Amino acid sequence: MADTHDKSMMDNLYWWGVPTLFRAPFHEPDTSDFRSADIALVGVPHSAGNGTTERDQHLGPRAVRNVSALQRRAHIDFQIDPWTSAKIVDAGDVPFPRANDNEDCIQRITDFYKDIDKAGVRPVSIGGDHSITGGIVQALGNGNLAGGEPVSFLHLDAHTDVFTTVDHFLGAQKSAAHWGAYLADQGQVDPTRSMQIGLRGHPRTLDWLQPSYDYGYNVVTMQDYRRRGSADVLAEIQDVLAGRPVYITFDLDCLDPSVAPAVSNIEPGVTGFSMDEAVELIRGVRGMNIIGGDVVCMMPTKDTPNQITAMVGAAIMFEMLSMIAETVNA
């Protein structure tokens, strides 16, 4: 009993030991231990898809690994311990030997996640800029976990990421601004059965939402959310995504800067989501076929001394993995 107590105490000291995500055991995707897992936690330390000076997003996975041991071990609202309800492993980081070549990195992400998809293990990832979602869903869309179908997004973000006016963003083609368009063009996502929620970006033109509408995405701006209320938006989530293979992509900039200050492309002009509001929206897909999710746009070099944004990112990951753990062996 004393040994168990001591281990529990040590596991909560985030500055001690090897910082795997949530203290999950480390297993690479080509091992038998990995192939028997239900959920894979993955770091995607990639910044070249944003194409701006906000490039420290590649440090996001390491920052979240550092604090994740502090996170909850049990989900009181769901009444589950996800670590015993499912086999959860840390699959490590996607390797990027050509880290400044965005197109090479996106392909390496796709190749890495194809192995995860083939194994039937559901990934929950921490980035990295938002271009990583394109690389991940190139592997998951129409794949094993999705049952051969395009995925449906639950996409929480301040920005649309459906950029169509030019074919690159400061040189990056499959950029953080393009993935919502090219995944639809390639048939890996069904926009008409996807939700984009919380959009409040700094528009340069009056038609900034038009590409999302043209592709058929179901758009809920922050103004819409405030006007309609959470219950109405949750009902739409459940109607649009019901029966679909769901992929959750969560850009930390959907949160208010007072909640998550260390993000790229910060949006202070309009109040963003509170943590409770964001968690409520994510839980709108509870019980559905969630095939994976990601948390993106961490800027740890801009975080507060208590690393609040890293802890917020870990908390969102915990919600995702708990919803998957609740259903994966049901």
Q: What is the pLDDT of residues 123-175, one digit of tens each?
A: 999 999 999 999 999 999 999 999 999 999 999 999 999 988 778 777 777 87
Q: Work out the burial of residue 14: count CB atoms within 10 Å of its CB; fewer than 13 is exposed, 13-18 middle, 19 or more buried.
A: middle
> What average pLDDT does the chain have?
93
Instruction: Delimit the domains of the chain by residue range.
Output: 27-328
DSSP designation for 101: -
Q: What is the pTM of this model?
A: 0.95
Q: Which helix (H) or strand (E) holds 245?
A: strand 245-251
Provide the pLDDT confidence category of residue 9 given band limits of 50, 70 and 90. Answer: confident
Q: Which residue has the higher pLDDT, 191 or 267?
A: 191
Q: What is the pLDDT of residues 199-258, one digit of tens each?
A: 998 777 899 999 999 999 999 999 999 999 999 999 999 999 999 999 999 999 999 999
- How far apart CA 194 and CA 173 sit, in angstroms, is 23
**The domain over range 27-328 is classified in CATH as 3.40.800.10:** yes
- How far apart CA 15 and CA 120 sit, in angstroms, is 32
Q: Which of 169, 11, 20 is nearest to 103 (CA)?
A: 169
Around Cβ 7, how many Cβ atoms within 10 Å? Answer: 10
